[in-house]
A and B are shown apart, each in its own frame.
Chain A
Amino acid sequence: MTLTDERRLTQLQWLESEAIHIIREVVSEFEKPVLLFSGGKDSVVMLHLATKAFWPAPVPFPVLHVDTGHNFPEVLAYRDATVERLGLRLEVASVQDYIDDGRLRERSDGTRNQLQTQPLLDAITDGKFDAVFGGGRRDEEKARAKERVFSLRDEFGQWDPRNQRPELWNLYNGRHRPGEHVRVFPLSNWTELDVWQYIGAEDIALPELYYAHHREVFERDGMLVAVSDVSLPREGETVEKRQVRYRTVGDMSCTGAVESDAVTVDDVIVEVAATRLTERGATRADDRASEAAMEDRKKEGYF
């Protein structure tokens, strides 16, 4: 992005600068950071910011993907191509492995977003990671709206929302005891619209499913679910080919598509600016479960 004459940052430049400052603080103050990378747009933007933060040096930490096994193939392909391009080390924590060897049991509804917590926490412990970058944004959800940029997790990976450290100025405190770790959210202050405007301004490539395309879908719980091995229509659910795009990317079996004709970044920006539904409300069955669904999962160590 180019700067304006006026020596004042635009909102996007301000957010970018803040995020880069946060990422650099983590690399300076922690022994072993890792960045959660799913190929979803927020993690893509976060990784892009990391490449800018350390230029011309390479990104100085590995990335971790908690793989539900219910992936959109194009997102996995994007993940691998990005890791290859940037010369990063990719670690994968596989929910499928946990199910195969009995450490986790498949849920009755077959969805796996909530099964990610255990593999995530084990990967953090096994990798001895003391800082974990997440792409969570405060505008996503009301429990996330409460989260600090540096968010301490105890040795069980738990978040204690009632007892968070005060976070003052831009003086982030990453001190923690052995066994604890810190989740860090460089995109805390970004909105969905900011993310899209930044993707446009920086010309960042995304998995194609973020743009309108034709796909076989069926309606379930008011959401459009793609037909796949892990999400087959049940009795009474009709499959139709529709023009859709995804606003979020998660477990394929419980992430909904939205009808859209936004085929370019600019189209998406217009669409997001005009939408009347939140991205999670429109696309995530798991967050509709209860008023405190996200808070409960976060307390246990979820993203």
Chain B
Amino acid sequence: MRTLLRLATAGSVDDGKSTLVGRLLFDSKSVLADQFDAVERVSRDRGLASADLALLTDGLRSEREQGITIDVAYRYFATAERSFILADCPGHVQYTRNTVTGASTADVVVLLVDVRHGIQEQTRRHLAVASLLRVPHVVVVVNKIDLVDFDEDTYTRVSDEVLESARSLGLYDVATIPVSALAGDNVVDRSERTPWYDGPSLLTFLEQLSPVGDPHSEPLRFPVQLVIRPQSAAGEEFRDYRGYAGQVASGLVRVGDAITVQPSGRTSVVTGIDFAGQELDEAFAPQSVTLRLQDDIDISRGDLIVTSRSVPPVTQDIDGTIAWLADGNLVPGTKVLLKHGTKTVQAMVKVISGKLDLDDARLLPAQSLGLNDIGHVTLRLAAPIPAEEYLHARGTGAFLLIDAQDGTTLAAGMVGDALLDTKAEVEAVSAATVPA
């Protein structure tokens, strides 16, 4: 059975992300002849000696003109073992929000570092993003190893530096691989030019990564998307049909399970799990199904069906970590919309309690948050939601902040102190607060 793995690339500009992606696609034979012809033609027109594989992913005119990646490009490739969805993310600081986009759905972040330059500000920022978003795996590609003559000591120095920085951001399970994306060393096959390296090539590493998440170990969370009530539209048989459609966010649901609906707290029992005419005995994350319940209770879009064995409390006050992705500044008192699961509520920013200093992973005092800042905030909501710590619930601990006027997505939010190691600092800093 072929499974799916989602990866996102990250790293500073010119660390060779697009080249690496091009190399992965090319060496895994996922680049088709006409695509490669186009790349060769353009490379030749530009007077390059060989095909510039980065051109495979830079899809926008302005990207090709500037030779940089502006927005996430999604690419698809497969090996016998796995299918991969790859989000090729930009390196420039002003496009960090696009990296957050790519990382939010990733199972693994592939972070590039130029072995000659070591850690850059963007490297640290992207490590922070991976940590913040709880991306399950991080692998650091120490790139351009050919430019330091495949020197082990240089590799080890950079590798140690990256691992140290990762640890300071709460990332402990990080692998590093010496690579030349340009020449292909250790991308698909193990390179003979790095005999001192005994780990897998990047592709082998990605093929062997253990799948993420076990429905058994997590409690059921099922955000209701809509109520399906055909009434007379589907014939007599379904006149009284009433089902709750949604995608299982975490855990497992079985027919006969006792459930609780949040925020109302009403309870019932699952009497049926439907999927397009098929009756299932159980469903698990991330299946899209429709649940039928024993009791005709009031449930609508925005409600969360959970196992009665583990009911998250509801609250109107959220302490969270946000990545601010908009051009304007966020200040206390700002009113926004908050989207959590399938529910959207009004929210007000009560407190900004600090922003992350990427250099030493400390929380600094802050009166406001600007583009690409990561900070801690306290929000007051107009209606209660079942908020869970993102740390334990990537599915139901996440939220968006949205501009109520023009609909812009302002911030990626995570309930709780997403950067664990900075927690102790939170109390210590002075907070910017809305006067009560």
Contacts and interface: CB of A to CB of B under 8 A. Distances in A.
A142 B59 contact: yes
B399 interface: yes
Contacts of B85: 189
A108 interface: no
A20 B275 CA distance: 11
A255 to B, nearest CB: 16
B71 to A, nearest CB: 5
B42 A291 contact: yes
B230 interface: yes
A144 B60 CA distance: 9
A21 B214 CA distance: 20
A53 B211 CA distance: 27
**Best-surrounded residue of B4, B62, B238, B406 (most CB of chain A within 10 A):** B4
Given A162-B62, A175-B402, A9 B286 contact: yes
Interface in B69-115: 70-76, 83, 85, 97-98, 100-101, 104-105
A33 to B, nearest CB: 13
Given A146-B59, A162-B60, A58 B245 contact: no
Given A52-B275, A168-B400, A169-B105, A11 B83 contact: yes
B226 interface: yes
A291 B41 CA distance: 11
A25 B138 CA distance: 31
Contact of A138 (B76, B290, B341): B76
B104 A28 contact: no
Contacts of B48: none
Contact of A145 (B73, B238, B241): B73
Interface in A144-173: 144-146, 152, 161-162, 164-171, 173
B148 interface: no
Nearest to A167: B101
Given A53-B245, A166-B409, A171-B398, A282 B73 contact: no
Contact of A8 (B211, B237, B342, B412): B211
B104 A169 contact: yes
A289 to B, nearest CB: 12
B49 interface: no
A166 B98 contact: yes
Contacts of B328: none
Interface string B398-426: 11101100111100100000000000000
B362 to A, nearest CB: 25
Interface stretch (B30-38, B177-185, B200-208): B30-38
Interface stretch (A39-47, A74-82, A110-118, A270-278): A270-278
Interface residues of A, number: 63
B32 A281 contact: yes
Contacts of A277: 32-34
Contacts of A27: 226
B76 A173 contact: no
A173 B402 contact: yes
A10 B277 contact: no
A28 B288 contact: no
A238 interface: no
B67 to A, nearest CB: 14
A281 B42 CA distance: 16
A105 interface: no
Nearest to A28: B226
A86 interface: no
Given A4-B1, A7-B252, A291 B38 contact: yes
A146 B215 CA distance: 32
A2 to B, nearest CB: 8
Interface string A1-34: 0011011111101111110110011011000000
Contact of A17 (B76, B247, B400): B247
**Best-surrounded residue of B57, B98, B216, B228 (most CB of chain A within 10 A):** B228
A17 B287 contact: yes
Contact of B247 (A10, A58, A142, A170): A170
10 contacts: A28-B342, A57-B233, A143-B60, A162-B62, A164-B71, A168-B409, A169-B104, A175-B408, A281-B32, A291-B38
Given A142-B57, A144-B59, A161-B60, 9 more contacts: A21-B225, A21-B247, A56-B234, A57-B238, A138-B74, A138-B76, A146-B71, A165-B409, A166-B325
